[in-house]
Amino acid sequence: MKITLMKGKIHRASVTEADLHCEGSISIDRALSQAAGFLTNERVEIYNIDTGARFATNVIEAPPGSGIIGLNGAAARLAMPGDKIIIVAYALFDDAEARTFRPRVVRVGRENRILSD
């Protein structure tokens, strides 16, 4: 049996841009994406804290240190710049892995900068 667990998340990121006419995806600052353990093209779930919208798309890379969290294509209809979102990736684990695995949780503050714990 496989168990689905959160693999990584970026918590309370601010959407910086929304481009309806760009190919669909979410652009994430490379430094944030790496800190959360996200891979380019990986499926992520997005939870809009401000509106309650929940949707999925794939990750594309934005320049490291840019703070960019950009929604592209149809996803741009579900959040607007300034909205706070949670971005989560999940993975399948067998029972033994699931009992020891620890997800990467990245908390961000102003301008989507990583907060230290």
Domain annotation covers residue 28: yes
- Owning domain of residue 74: 2-94
Give the count of domains, the chain: 1
Domain annotation covers residue 19: yes
* Whole-number Å distance between alpha carbons of 117 and 96: 28
Structure confidence by residue, pLDDT tens digits, 84-111: 999 999 999 999 999 999 999 999 999 9
Reading the block at residue 17, the tokens are 């841009």
Domain annotation covers residue 107: no
Structure confidence by residue, pLDDT tens digits, 27-37: 999 999 999 99
Domain annotation covers residue 103: no
Q: Say what the pTM is.
A: 0.96
Domain annotation covers residue 114: no
Structure confidence by residue, pLDDT tens digits, 55-87: 999 999 999 999 999 999 999 999 999 999 999
One DSSP character per residue, 30-74 reads: HHHHHHHT--TT-EEEEEETTT--EEEEEEEEE-TTS--EEEEGG
Do the Cβ atoms of 57 and 26 come closer than 8 Å?
Answer: yes
Domain annotation covers residue 81: yes
* Whole-number Å distance between alpha carbons of 48 and 51: 6
* CATH assignment at residue 60: 2.40.40.20
